[in-house]
Protein backbone atom coordinates (compact mmCIF):
# COMPACT_ATOMS: atom_id res chain seq x y z
CA UNK A 1 0.00 0.00 0.00
CA UNK A 2 2.73 2.44 1.03
CA UNK A 3 6.30 2.20 -0.14
CA UNK A 4 9.08 4.52 0.94
CA UNK A 5 12.04 4.02 -1.38
CA UNK A 6 15.46 5.15 -0.12
CA UNK A 7 14.44 8.60 0.99
CA UNK A 8 16.95 11.25 2.04
CA UNK A 9 16.39 14.52 3.86
CA UNK A 10 18.94 16.84 5.37
CA UNK A 11 18.63 20.05 7.34
CA UNK A 12 21.70 22.08 6.53
CA UNK A 13 24.52 19.65 7.34
CA UNK A 14 22.46 17.28 9.45
CA UNK A 15 21.17 14.15 7.69
CA UNK A 16 17.82 13.64 9.42
CA UNK A 17 16.71 10.85 7.12
CA UNK A 18 19.56 9.05 5.44
CA UNK A 19 18.20 6.37 3.17
CA UNK A 20 15.01 5.14 4.81
CA UNK A 21 12.98 2.27 3.38
CA UNK A 22 9.58 1.23 4.53
CA UNK A 23 6.79 -0.96 3.26
CA UNK A 24 3.27 -1.07 4.63
CA UNK A 25 0.70 -3.58 3.39
CA UNK A 26 -3.03 -3.08 3.55
CA UNK A 27 -4.57 -3.88 6.93
CA UNK A 28 -1.26 -4.02 8.78
CA UNK A 29 -0.22 -2.31 11.96
CA UNK A 30 3.37 -1.22 11.44
CA UNK A 31 5.58 0.48 14.00
CA UNK A 32 8.67 2.59 13.45
CA UNK A 33 11.10 2.57 16.35
CA UNK A 34 14.46 4.08 16.99
CA UNK A 35 16.29 6.21 19.53
CA UNK A 36 15.55 9.94 19.88
CA UNK A 37 16.69 11.81 16.81
CA UNK A 38 16.62 8.71 14.63
CA UNK A 39 14.44 10.56 12.13
CA UNK A 40 11.04 9.00 12.85
CA UNK A 41 9.05 12.22 12.91
CA UNK A 42 10.95 13.56 9.90
CA UNK A 43 10.06 10.39 8.03
CA UNK A 44 6.38 10.88 8.86
CA UNK A 45 6.60 14.51 7.79
CA UNK A 46 8.05 13.37 4.48
CA UNK A 47 5.31 10.81 3.90
CA UNK A 48 2.54 13.32 4.65
CA UNK A 49 4.08 16.05 2.52
CA UNK A 50 4.96 18.52 5.27
CA UNK A 51 8.55 18.19 4.12
CA UNK A 52 9.88 17.31 0.69
CA UNK A 53 12.66 14.70 0.43
CA UNK A 54 15.99 15.62 -1.18
CA UNK A 55 16.03 12.24 -2.88
CA UNK A 56 13.89 9.12 -3.04
CA UNK A 57 10.28 8.32 -3.74
CA UNK A 58 7.14 7.72 -1.74
CA UNK A 59 4.56 5.50 -3.43
CA UNK A 60 1.00 5.17 -2.18
CA UNK A 61 -1.31 2.71 -3.91
CA UNK A 62 0.97 2.54 -6.95
CA UNK A 63 1.06 6.32 -7.26
CA UNK A 64 4.03 8.60 -6.69
CA UNK A 65 2.89 11.06 -4.03
CA UNK A 66 6.33 12.60 -3.38
CA UNK A 67 5.66 15.96 -5.05
CA UNK A 68 2.12 16.49 -3.72
CA UNK A 69 1.26 19.15 -1.12
CA UNK A 70 -0.05 17.92 2.27
CA UNK A 71 -3.72 18.58 1.54
CA UNK A 72 -3.64 16.45 -1.61
CA UNK A 73 -1.85 13.61 0.13
CA UNK A 74 -4.58 13.72 2.74
CA UNK A 75 -7.19 13.45 0.02
CA UNK A 76 -5.46 10.37 -1.37
CA UNK A 77 -6.27 8.65 1.91
CA UNK A 78 -3.38 9.27 4.31
CA UNK A 79 -3.99 11.24 7.49
CA UNK A 80 -1.92 11.65 10.57
CA UNK A 81 -1.84 12.74 14.16
CA UNK A 82 0.98 14.81 15.55
CA UNK A 83 3.45 14.07 18.31
CA UNK A 84 3.11 17.53 19.81
CA UNK A 85 -0.58 18.31 20.21
CA UNK A 86 -1.68 20.12 17.08
CA UNK A 87 -5.38 20.89 17.34
CA UNK A 88 -7.65 23.93 16.97
CA UNK A 89 -7.54 25.25 20.53
CA UNK A 90 -10.27 27.89 20.16
CA UNK A 91 -12.81 25.59 18.52
CA UNK A 92 -14.97 23.10 20.37
CA UNK A 93 -14.09 19.41 20.45
CA UNK A 94 -16.95 18.88 18.03
CA UNK A 95 -15.73 21.71 15.80
CA UNK A 96 -12.22 20.24 15.69
CA UNK A 97 -13.40 16.95 14.24
CA UNK A 98 -16.06 18.59 12.08
CA UNK A 99 -13.45 20.64 10.22
CA UNK A 100 -11.88 17.39 9.04
CA UNK A 101 -15.22 15.73 8.24
CA UNK A 102 -16.35 18.76 6.21
CA UNK A 103 -13.08 18.78 4.34
CA UNK A 104 -13.46 15.07 3.59
CA UNK A 105 -17.00 15.59 2.30
CA UNK A 106 -15.78 18.52 0.16
CA UNK A 107 -18.22 20.84 1.90
CA UNK A 108 -15.75 23.27 3.49
CA UNK A 109 -16.56 25.98 0.96
CA UNK A 110 -20.30 25.87 1.58
CA UNK A 111 -21.15 29.47 2.45
CA UNK A 112 -24.82 29.57 3.21
CA UNK A 113 -25.81 26.52 5.18
CA UNK A 114 -25.48 26.48 8.91
CA UNK A 115 -22.50 24.40 9.97
CA UNK A 116 -24.39 23.32 13.06
CA UNK A 117 -26.49 21.03 10.94
CA UNK A 118 -23.92 19.62 8.55
CA UNK A 119 -21.91 16.43 9.08
CA UNK A 120 -23.19 16.17 12.65
CA UNK A 121 -23.87 12.44 12.53
CA UNK A 122 -20.47 11.52 11.13
CA UNK A 123 -18.67 13.81 13.58
CA UNK A 124 -20.55 12.44 16.60
CA UNK A 125 -19.87 8.90 15.45
CA UNK A 126 -16.12 9.54 15.53
CA UNK A 127 -16.33 11.24 18.92
CA UNK A 128 -18.30 8.29 20.23
CA UNK A 129 -15.71 5.82 18.91
CA UNK A 130 -12.83 7.58 20.65
CA UNK A 131 -14.86 8.32 23.78
CA UNK A 132 -15.00 12.11 23.64
CA UNK A 133 -18.69 12.50 22.91
CA UNK A 134 -19.51 13.74 26.41
CA UNK A 135 -16.98 16.55 25.96
CA UNK A 136 -18.07 17.65 22.48
CA UNK A 137 -19.09 21.18 23.55
CA UNK A 138 -15.94 22.00 25.47
CA UNK A 139 -13.29 24.27 23.99
CA UNK A 140 -10.53 21.97 22.79
CA UNK A 141 -7.81 24.02 24.48
CA UNK A 142 -9.36 23.32 27.88
CA UNK A 143 -9.06 19.52 27.63
CA UNK A 144 -6.46 17.53 29.56
CA UNK A 145 -3.32 16.57 27.68
CA UNK A 146 -4.47 12.96 27.38
CA UNK A 147 -7.81 13.99 25.90
CA UNK A 148 -6.08 16.37 23.48
CA UNK A 149 -3.94 13.50 22.23
CA UNK A 150 -7.10 11.43 21.70
CA UNK A 151 -8.66 14.41 19.89
CA UNK A 152 -5.58 14.37 17.64
CA UNK A 153 -6.54 10.87 16.53
CA UNK A 154 -10.21 11.82 16.21
CA UNK A 155 -9.36 14.69 13.84
CA UNK A 156 -7.28 12.33 11.74
CA UNK A 157 -10.24 9.94 11.56
CA UNK A 158 -12.45 12.72 10.20
CA UNK A 159 -11.02 12.19 6.75
CA UNK A 160 -11.84 8.47 6.79
CA UNK A 161 -8.27 7.57 5.90
CA UNK A 162 -7.12 4.24 4.53
CA UNK A 163 -3.72 4.73 6.11
CA UNK A 164 -3.59 6.36 9.52
CA UNK A 165 -0.21 7.63 10.69
CA UNK A 166 0.22 8.22 14.41
CA UNK A 167 3.29 10.05 15.64
CA UNK A 168 3.84 8.91 19.23
CA UNK A 169 0.13 8.71 20.07
CA UNK A 170 0.77 8.13 23.77
CA UNK A 171 3.52 10.70 24.36
CA UNK A 172 3.06 12.31 27.76
CA UNK A 173 0.17 10.06 28.78
CA UNK A 174 -0.26 8.32 32.12
CA UNK A 175 0.04 4.50 32.12
CA UNK A 176 -3.76 4.07 32.26
CA UNK A 177 -4.30 6.53 29.43
CA UNK A 178 -1.61 4.78 27.41
CA UNK A 179 -3.35 1.47 27.96
CA UNK A 180 -6.70 2.90 26.85
CA UNK A 181 -5.20 4.56 23.79
CA UNK A 182 -3.60 1.32 22.69
CA UNK A 183 -6.89 -0.51 23.02
CA UNK A 184 -8.45 2.25 20.95
CA UNK A 185 -5.86 1.89 18.21
CA UNK A 186 -6.39 -1.87 18.05
CA UNK A 187 -10.14 -1.39 18.00
CA UNK A 188 -9.90 1.21 15.22
CA UNK A 189 -7.75 -1.04 13.09
CA UNK A 190 -10.34 -3.78 13.33
CA UNK A 191 -13.55 -1.70 13.18
CA UNK A 192 -12.58 0.60 10.34
CA UNK A 193 -10.25 -1.80 8.57
CA UNK A 194 -7.52 0.77 8.90
CA UNK A 195 -3.92 0.38 8.03
CA UNK A 196 -1.90 1.98 10.80
CA UNK A 197 1.66 3.24 10.82
CA UNK A 198 2.89 4.58 14.13
CA UNK A 199 5.99 5.36 16.08
CA UNK A 200 6.32 4.97 19.79
CA UNK A 201 8.91 5.05 22.54
CA UNK A 202 7.44 2.39 24.78
CA UNK A 203 8.84 -0.95 23.62
CA UNK A 204 6.23 -3.05 25.36
CA UNK A 205 3.49 -1.27 23.48
CA UNK A 206 5.23 -1.66 20.16
CA UNK A 207 5.84 -5.38 20.55
CA UNK A 208 2.33 -6.00 21.82
CA UNK A 209 0.41 -4.50 18.91
CA UNK A 210 2.66 -4.07 15.88
CA UNK A 211 2.60 -6.83 13.29
CA UNK A 212 5.75 -5.56 11.69
CA UNK A 213 8.41 -3.23 12.95
CA UNK A 214 10.86 -0.96 11.18
CA UNK A 215 13.94 0.13 13.11
CA UNK A 216 15.67 3.42 12.36
CA UNK A 217 19.02 4.68 13.50
CA UNK A 218 20.76 7.87 12.41
CA UNK A 219 18.09 8.31 9.76
CA UNK A 220 18.76 4.92 8.22
CA UNK A 221 16.57 1.84 8.11
CA UNK A 222 18.31 -1.00 9.94
CA UNK A 223 15.67 -3.65 9.42
CA UNK A 224 12.00 -4.11 8.80
CA UNK A 225 10.40 -7.37 9.89
CA UNK A 226 8.23 -9.22 12.38
CA UNK A 227 8.75 -8.52 16.08
CA UNK A 228 10.72 -11.77 16.43
CA UNK A 229 13.02 -10.94 13.55
CA UNK A 230 13.60 -7.48 14.90
CA UNK A 231 14.27 -8.69 18.42
CA UNK A 232 16.94 -11.10 17.27
CA UNK A 233 18.69 -8.75 14.87
CA UNK A 234 22.18 -8.07 16.26
CA UNK A 235 22.46 -4.45 15.23
CA UNK A 236 19.06 -3.68 16.68
CA UNK A 237 19.99 -5.24 19.99
CA UNK A 238 23.15 -3.26 20.12
CA UNK A 239 21.67 0.00 18.87
CA UNK A 240 18.41 0.20 20.59
CA UNK A 241 16.90 -2.70 22.43
CA UNK A 242 20.17 -3.27 24.19
CA UNK A 243 19.99 -0.03 26.09
CA UNK A 244 16.36 -0.46 27.07
CA UNK A 245 16.21 -4.18 27.71
CA UNK A 246 19.56 -4.63 29.36
CA UNK A 247 18.47 -2.23 32.03
CA UNK A 248 14.88 -3.44 32.35
CA UNK B 1 -23.53 25.11 20.54
CA UNK B 2 -26.86 24.28 22.09
CA UNK B 3 -27.02 27.54 24.00
CA UNK B 4 -30.62 28.58 23.46
CA UNK B 5 -30.60 31.46 25.89
CA UNK B 6 -28.04 33.76 24.36
CA UNK B 7 -29.44 34.06 20.84
CA UNK B 8 -32.90 35.04 22.07
CA UNK B 9 -31.43 37.66 24.42
CA UNK B 10 -29.25 38.99 21.65
CA UNK B 11 -32.19 39.07 19.25
CA UNK B 12 -34.18 41.17 21.73
CA UNK B 13 -31.37 43.66 22.19
CA UNK B 14 -30.78 43.90 18.45
CA UNK B 15 -34.50 44.32 17.78
CA UNK B 16 -34.73 47.25 20.17
CA UNK B 17 -31.64 48.89 18.68
CA UNK B 18 -33.09 48.39 15.22
CA UNK B 19 -36.42 50.03 16.11
CA UNK B 20 -34.53 52.91 17.70
CA UNK B 21 -32.48 53.39 14.52
CA UNK B 22 -35.60 53.40 12.36
CA UNK B 23 -37.28 56.14 14.38
CA UNK B 24 -34.27 58.40 14.70
CA UNK B 25 -34.17 60.43 11.46
CA UNK B 26 -37.47 62.33 11.73
CA UNK B 27 -36.64 63.46 15.27
CA UNK B 28 -32.90 63.90 15.33
CA UNK B 29 -30.96 66.80 13.86
CA UNK B 30 -29.65 66.24 10.32
CA UNK B 31 -26.08 66.15 11.50
CA UNK B 32 -26.83 63.34 13.91
CA UNK B 33 -28.49 61.29 11.19
CA UNK B 34 -25.50 61.87 8.97
CA UNK B 35 -23.05 60.71 11.66
CA UNK B 36 -25.10 57.57 12.24
CA UNK B 37 -25.05 56.89 8.51
CA UNK B 38 -21.28 57.35 8.49
CA UNK B 39 -20.97 54.92 11.41
CA UNK B 40 -22.95 52.27 9.50
CA UNK B 41 -20.83 52.68 6.38
CA UNK B 42 -17.53 52.63 8.25
CA UNK B 43 -18.68 49.77 10.47
CA UNK B 44 -19.36 47.72 7.38
CA UNK B 45 -15.77 48.26 6.21
CA UNK B 46 -14.45 47.40 9.66
CA UNK B 47 -16.60 44.27 9.91
CA UNK B 48 -15.59 43.10 6.46
CA UNK B 49 -11.97 43.60 7.52
CA UNK B 50 -12.62 41.64 10.68
CA UNK B 51 -13.79 38.67 8.60
CA UNK B 52 -10.23 38.19 7.38
CA UNK B 53 -8.30 39.66 10.31
CA UNK B 54 -10.25 38.46 13.34
CA UNK B 55 -11.80 35.31 11.95
CA UNK B 56 -9.29 34.53 9.21
CA UNK B 57 -6.08 35.52 10.99
CA UNK B 58 -4.68 37.23 7.90
CA UNK B 59 -2.62 40.41 7.96
CA UNK B 60 -4.97 42.44 5.81
CA UNK B 61 -3.18 45.75 6.40
CA UNK B 62 -4.58 47.80 3.54
CA UNK B 63 -8.27 47.03 3.50
CA UNK B 64 -9.25 50.64 2.87
CA UNK B 65 -8.05 50.28 -0.72
CA UNK B 66 -10.96 48.02 -1.62
CA UNK B 67 -13.42 50.42 -0.02
CA UNK B 68 -11.88 53.34 -1.91
CA UNK B 69 -11.63 51.51 -5.23
CA UNK B 70 -15.31 50.67 -5.00
CA UNK B 71 -16.27 54.25 -4.15
CA UNK B 72 -14.24 55.51 -7.14
CA UNK B 73 -15.69 52.89 -9.48
CA UNK B 74 -19.19 53.93 -8.49
CA UNK B 75 -18.39 57.63 -8.73
CA UNK B 76 -16.73 57.28 -12.14
CA UNK B 77 -19.60 55.28 -13.62
CA UNK B 78 -22.09 57.83 -12.29
CA UNK B 79 -20.19 60.92 -13.47
CA UNK B 80 -18.34 59.83 -16.61
CA UNK B 81 -20.97 57.60 -18.20
CA UNK B 82 -24.69 57.81 -18.75
CA UNK B 83 -25.24 54.27 -17.50
CA UNK B 84 -28.09 53.60 -15.10
CA UNK B 85 -27.45 54.30 -11.42
CA UNK B 86 -27.81 50.67 -10.39
CA UNK B 87 -24.98 49.74 -12.75
CA UNK B 88 -22.80 52.22 -10.88
CA UNK B 89 -23.87 50.63 -7.61
CA UNK B 90 -23.02 47.16 -8.94
CA UNK B 91 -19.69 48.32 -10.33
CA UNK B 92 -18.35 49.17 -6.85
CA UNK B 93 -18.45 45.70 -5.26
CA UNK B 94 -17.44 44.02 -8.53
CA UNK B 95 -14.35 46.19 -8.99
CA UNK B 96 -13.49 45.82 -5.28
CA UNK B 97 -13.74 42.02 -5.48
CA UNK B 98 -11.64 41.90 -8.64
CA UNK B 99 -9.01 44.07 -6.98
CA UNK B 100 -9.21 41.72 -4.01
CA UNK B 101 -8.66 38.77 -6.34
CA UNK B 102 -5.54 40.27 -7.88
CA UNK B 103 -3.95 41.60 -4.68
CA UNK B 104 -5.10 38.58 -2.66
CA UNK B 105 -3.71 36.10 -5.19
CA UNK B 106 -0.23 37.44 -4.52
CA UNK B 107 -0.69 37.97 -0.79
CA UNK B 108 -1.84 34.45 0.14
CA UNK B 109 1.41 33.13 -1.29
CA UNK B 110 3.31 34.93 1.44
CA UNK B 111 3.33 34.31 5.15
CA UNK B 112 1.90 36.58 7.78
CA UNK B 113 3.89 39.82 8.00
CA UNK B 114 5.06 39.61 4.38
CA UNK B 115 1.44 39.22 3.37
CA UNK B 116 0.72 42.52 5.12
CA UNK B 117 3.73 44.35 3.71
CA UNK B 118 2.96 43.29 0.16
CA UNK B 119 -0.61 44.43 0.56
CA UNK B 120 0.48 47.83 1.79
CA UNK B 121 2.78 48.18 -1.23
CA UNK B 122 0.22 47.10 -3.81
CA UNK B 123 -2.47 49.20 -2.12
CA UNK B 124 -0.24 52.27 -2.05
CA UNK B 125 0.39 51.79 -5.74
CA UNK B 126 -3.36 52.04 -6.37
CA UNK B 127 -3.53 55.11 -4.15
CA UNK B 128 -0.74 56.73 -6.16
CA UNK B 129 -2.58 56.05 -9.41
CA UNK B 130 -5.79 57.57 -8.09
CA UNK B 131 -3.90 60.51 -6.58
CA UNK B 132 -1.86 61.27 -9.71
CA UNK B 133 -4.22 60.53 -12.56
CA UNK B 134 -5.75 63.95 -12.44
CA UNK B 135 -7.70 63.84 -15.69
CA UNK B 136 -9.48 60.62 -14.82
CA UNK B 137 -9.90 60.54 -11.06
CA UNK B 138 -9.67 64.20 -10.22
CA UNK B 139 -6.46 63.62 -8.25
CA UNK B 140 -6.44 65.17 -4.80
CA UNK B 141 -9.58 67.16 -5.63
CA UNK B 142 -11.61 64.00 -5.79
CA UNK B 143 -14.99 63.83 -7.49
CA UNK B 144 -17.87 65.91 -6.16
CA UNK B 145 -21.56 66.41 -6.74
CA UNK B 146 -22.29 62.87 -7.85
CA UNK B 147 -25.88 62.66 -9.06
CA UNK B 148 -28.26 60.34 -7.24
CA UNK B 149 -31.69 59.10 -8.22
CA UNK B 150 -34.48 61.21 -6.73
CA UNK B 151 -35.32 58.45 -4.27
CA UNK B 152 -31.91 58.87 -2.61
CA UNK B 153 -31.83 62.65 -2.76
CA UNK B 154 -32.92 63.37 0.80
CA UNK B 155 -30.60 62.51 3.69
CA UNK B 156 -33.30 60.56 5.49
CA UNK B 157 -33.95 58.34 2.50
CA UNK B 158 -30.23 57.73 2.04
CA UNK B 159 -30.07 56.87 5.72
CA UNK B 160 -32.78 54.23 5.40
CA UNK B 161 -31.21 52.79 2.27
CA UNK B 162 -27.83 52.57 3.99
CA UNK B 163 -29.37 51.05 7.11
CA UNK B 164 -31.18 48.41 5.05
CA UNK B 165 -28.09 47.39 3.07
CA UNK B 166 -26.00 47.50 6.23
CA UNK B 167 -28.30 45.11 8.07
CA UNK B 168 -28.60 42.84 5.06
CA UNK B 169 -24.81 42.68 4.82
CA UNK B 170 -24.53 41.90 8.53
CA UNK B 171 -26.98 39.03 8.20
CA UNK B 172 -25.06 37.66 5.23
CA UNK B 173 -21.72 37.96 7.00
CA UNK B 174 -23.12 36.30 10.11
CA UNK B 175 -24.48 33.45 8.02
CA UNK B 176 -21.15 33.03 6.26
CA UNK B 177 -19.28 32.92 9.57
CA UNK B 178 -21.64 30.23 10.86
CA UNK B 179 -21.31 28.20 7.65
CA UNK B 180 -18.85 25.37 7.04
CA UNK B 181 -16.67 27.93 5.29
CA UNK B 182 -16.74 30.19 8.34
CA UNK B 183 -15.68 27.30 10.57
CA UNK B 184 -12.93 26.35 8.17
CA UNK B 185 -11.67 29.93 8.02
CA UNK B 186 -11.42 30.05 11.81
CA UNK B 187 -9.70 26.68 11.85
CA UNK B 188 -7.14 28.05 9.39
CA UNK B 189 -6.62 31.05 11.67
CA UNK B 190 -5.98 28.77 14.63
CA UNK B 191 -3.79 26.20 12.92
CA UNK B 192 -3.07 26.39 9.19
CA UNK B 193 -0.66 23.46 9.32
CA UNK B 194 -3.26 21.14 10.77
CA UNK B 195 -5.77 22.32 8.16
CA UNK B 196 -3.40 21.23 5.40
CA UNK B 197 -3.12 17.90 7.15
CA UNK B 198 -6.88 17.36 7.00
CA UNK B 199 -7.03 18.07 3.29
CA UNK B 200 -7.77 21.79 3.21
CA UNK B 201 -6.11 23.89 0.52
CA UNK B 202 -5.31 26.75 2.87
CA UNK B 203 -4.37 29.34 0.25
CA UNK B 204 -7.57 28.81 -1.70
CA UNK B 205 -9.73 29.29 1.37
CA UNK B 206 -7.79 32.36 2.43
CA UNK B 207 -8.28 33.83 -1.02
CA UNK B 208 -12.00 33.07 -0.87
CA UNK B 209 -12.09 34.83 2.50
CA UNK B 210 -10.38 37.87 0.99
CA UNK B 211 -12.87 37.91 -1.89
CA UNK B 212 -15.80 37.91 0.51
CA UNK B 213 -14.25 40.63 2.68
CA UNK B 214 -13.39 42.83 -0.30
CA UNK B 215 -16.89 42.37 -1.67
CA UNK B 216 -18.41 43.76 1.51
CA UNK B 217 -15.83 46.55 1.60
CA UNK B 218 -17.06 47.28 -1.93
CA UNK B 219 -20.65 47.43 -0.73
CA UNK B 220 -19.54 49.92 1.92
CA UNK B 221 -17.79 51.97 -0.78
CA UNK B 222 -21.07 52.38 -2.65
CA UNK B 223 -22.87 53.36 0.55
CA UNK B 224 -20.18 55.97 1.15
CA UNK B 225 -20.90 57.55 -2.25
CA UNK B 226 -24.62 57.56 -1.47
CA UNK B 227 -24.00 59.29 1.84
CA UNK B 228 -21.32 61.77 0.79
CA UNK B 229 -21.99 62.29 -2.95
CA UNK B 230 -18.26 62.69 -3.33
CA UNK B 231 -15.06 60.67 -3.22
CA UNK B 232 -11.47 61.62 -2.51
CA UNK B 233 -8.09 59.94 -2.69
CA UNK B 234 -7.78 59.73 1.11
CA UNK B 235 -10.14 56.76 0.94
CA UNK B 236 -7.26 54.71 -0.44
CA UNK B 237 -4.59 56.17 1.81
CA UNK B 238 -2.95 53.83 4.31
CA UNK B 239 -4.00 56.02 7.24
CA UNK B 240 -7.63 55.05 6.73
CA UNK B 241 -6.69 51.36 6.58
CA UNK B 242 -4.87 51.75 9.87
CA UNK B 243 -7.90 53.48 11.35
CA UNK B 244 -10.27 50.65 10.46
CA UNK B 245 -7.75 48.16 11.78
CA UNK B 246 -7.82 50.08 15.08
CA UNK B 247 -11.62 49.98 15.03
CA UNK B 248 -11.49 46.17 14.95
CA UNK B 249 -8.85 46.05 17.67
CA UNK B 250 -10.77 48.46 19.87
CA UNK B 251 -14.07 46.64 19.51
CA UNK B 252 -12.68 43.12 19.67
CA UNK B 253 -11.10 40.90 17.03
CA UNK B 254 -12.93 37.75 17.95
CA UNK B 255 -16.43 39.14 18.27
CA UNK B 256 -18.91 39.70 15.49
CA UNK B 257 -20.25 43.08 16.59
CA UNK B 258 -17.01 44.38 18.08
CA UNK B 259 -15.97 46.39 15.01
CA UNK B 260 -19.25 48.35 15.07
CA UNK B 261 -18.53 49.40 18.62
CA UNK B 262 -14.96 50.31 17.71
CA UNK B 263 -16.14 52.36 14.76
CA UNK B 264 -18.77 54.15 16.85
CA UNK B 265 -16.15 55.02 19.48
CA UNK B 266 -13.67 56.41 16.96
CA UNK B 267 -16.18 58.36 14.87
CA UNK B 268 -17.83 59.81 17.98
CA UNK B 269 -14.47 60.87 19.35
CA UNK B 270 -13.47 62.50 16.08
CA UNK B 271 -16.80 64.27 15.72
CA UNK B 272 -17.59 65.35 19.24
CA UNK B 273 -14.19 65.67 20.87
CA UNK B 274 -12.62 66.81 17.61
CA UNK B 275 -14.92 69.84 17.79
CA UNK B 276 -13.12 71.09 20.89
CA UNK B 277 -9.57 70.04 20.25
CA UNK B 278 -7.58 68.94 17.28
CA UNK B 279 -5.70 66.63 19.61
CA UNK B 280 -8.57 64.14 19.78
CA UNK B 281 -6.23 61.45 18.52
CA UNK B 282 -4.34 61.86 21.78
CA UNK B 283 -7.45 60.74 23.65
CA UNK B 284 -7.87 57.90 21.15
CA UNK B 285 -4.27 56.88 21.81
CA UNK B 286 -4.83 56.80 25.56
CA UNK B 287 -8.02 54.78 25.16
CA UNK B 288 -6.20 52.40 22.86
CA UNK B 289 -3.38 51.87 25.35
CA UNK B 290 -5.89 51.21 28.14
CA UNK B 291 -7.81 48.75 25.99
CA UNK B 292 -4.69 46.87 24.95
CA UNK B 293 -3.53 46.62 28.57
CA UNK B 294 -6.80 45.88 30.32
CA UNK B 295 -9.14 44.52 27.66
CA UNK B 296 -6.91 42.62 25.24
CA UNK B 297 -9.94 41.04 23.61
CA UNK B 298 -11.46 44.46 22.89
CA UNK B 299 -14.45 46.19 24.43
CA UNK B 300 -16.98 43.72 23.02
CA UNK B 301 -14.75 40.83 23.99
CA UNK B 302 -14.82 42.16 27.55
CA UNK B 303 -18.60 42.48 27.58
CA UNK B 304 -18.81 38.88 26.43
CA UNK B 305 -16.41 37.78 29.13
CA UNK B 306 -18.57 39.48 31.78
CA UNK B 307 -21.75 37.88 30.47
CA UNK B 308 -20.28 34.40 30.26
CA UNK B 309 -20.27 33.33 33.93
CA UNK B 310 -23.97 34.14 34.16
CA UNK B 311 -24.72 31.86 31.25
CA UNK B 312 -22.77 29.14 32.96
CA UNK B 313 -24.78 29.40 36.16
CA UNK B 314 -27.98 29.18 34.21
CA UNK B 315 -26.81 26.08 32.42
CA UNK B 316 -25.23 24.55 35.52
CA UNK B 317 -22.14 23.75 33.54
CA UNK B 318 -20.21 21.17 35.48
CA UNK B 319 -16.61 21.90 34.49
CA UNK B 320 -14.43 23.20 31.73
CA UNK B 321 -15.08 26.25 29.64
CA UNK B 322 -18.35 26.35 27.79
CA UNK B 323 -17.98 27.02 24.13
CA UNK B 324 -19.41 30.10 22.56
CA UNK B 325 -18.99 28.22 19.28
CA UNK B 326 -16.44 30.65 17.95
CA UNK B 327 -18.62 33.67 17.34
CA UNK B 328 -19.64 35.79 20.26
CA UNK B 329 -22.01 38.67 20.12
Structural domain containing residue B136:
5-237
pLDDT single digits (tens) B199-216: 999 999 999 999 999 999
Say if B15 falls within a structural domain. yes
- B326 falls within a domain: no
Structurally, how many domains does chain B consist of? 1
B64: in domain: yes
Q: Is the pTM of this model over 0.90?
A: no
Q: How would you classify the pairing of strands A220-225 and A212-217?
A: antiparallel
pLDDT value of residue A242: 54
Q: Is the pLDDT of residue B285 over 80?
A: yes
ipTM of the complex: 0.87
Alpha-carbon gap: B191 to the closest alpha carbon of chain A (Å): 6
Q: In angstroms, rounded to a whole number, what is the distance separating the alpha carbons of residues B42 and B37?
A: 9
Q: Mapping DSSP to helix (H, G, I), strand (E, B) and coil, where does residue B66 land?
A: helix
Percent of chain B with pLDDT over 90: 59
CA atoms of A235 and A217, how far apart (whole Å): 10
Tell whether B328 is covered by a domain.
no
Rounded Cα–Cα distance for residues A57 and A59 (Å)? 6
Cβ separation A50–B184 shorter than 8 A: no
What is the C-alpha to C-alpha distance for residues B271 and B36, in angstroms, rounded to an integer? 11
pLDDT in tens, B95-117: 999 999 999 999 999 988 899 99
| CA–CA distance, A202 with A179 (Å, rounded to integer) | 11
Q: Which residues of A touch B174 (CB under 8 A)?
A: none
Residue B23 in domain: yes
With an 8 Å Cβ cutoff, the interface of chain B facing chain A consists of: 1-2, 175-176, 178-184, 186-187, 190-191, 193-202, 205, 208, 212, 254, 320-323, 325-326
Q: How far apart are CA B66 and CA B95, in angstroms?
A: 8
Element containing residue A125 per DSSP (H, E): helix A120-130
Domains and CATH numbers, chain A: 2-77+161-247 (3.40.50.300), 88-148 (no CATH)
CA distance B116 to B266: 23
Percent residues over pLDDT 70 in chain B: 91
Any domain includes B275: no
Q: Is residue B246 part of a domain?
A: no
Residues in A touching B186 (Cβ below 8 Å): 88, 90-91
State the alpha helices, DSSP H only, in A145-220: 145-157, 175-191, 203-209
Whether B310 maps to a domain, the answer reads: no
Amino acid sequence: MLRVESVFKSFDEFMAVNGANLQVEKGEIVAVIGPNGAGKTTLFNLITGLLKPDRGRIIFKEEDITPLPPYEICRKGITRSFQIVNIFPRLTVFGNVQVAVLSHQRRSSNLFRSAERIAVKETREILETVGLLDKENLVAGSLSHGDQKILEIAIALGNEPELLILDEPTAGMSPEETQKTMELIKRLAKMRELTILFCEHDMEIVFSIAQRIMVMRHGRTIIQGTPEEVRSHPEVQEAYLGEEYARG
Amino acid sequence: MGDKRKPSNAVWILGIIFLFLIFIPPFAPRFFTYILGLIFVTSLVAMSLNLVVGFGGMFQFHHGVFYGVSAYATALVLTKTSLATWIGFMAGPIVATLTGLIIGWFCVRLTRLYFGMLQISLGSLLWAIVFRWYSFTGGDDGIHGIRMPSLLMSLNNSYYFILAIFILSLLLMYKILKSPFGNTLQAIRDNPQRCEAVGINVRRYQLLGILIATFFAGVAGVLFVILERSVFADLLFWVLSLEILIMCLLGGWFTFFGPILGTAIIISLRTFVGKYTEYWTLILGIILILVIFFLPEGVMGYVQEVLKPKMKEVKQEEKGIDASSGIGF
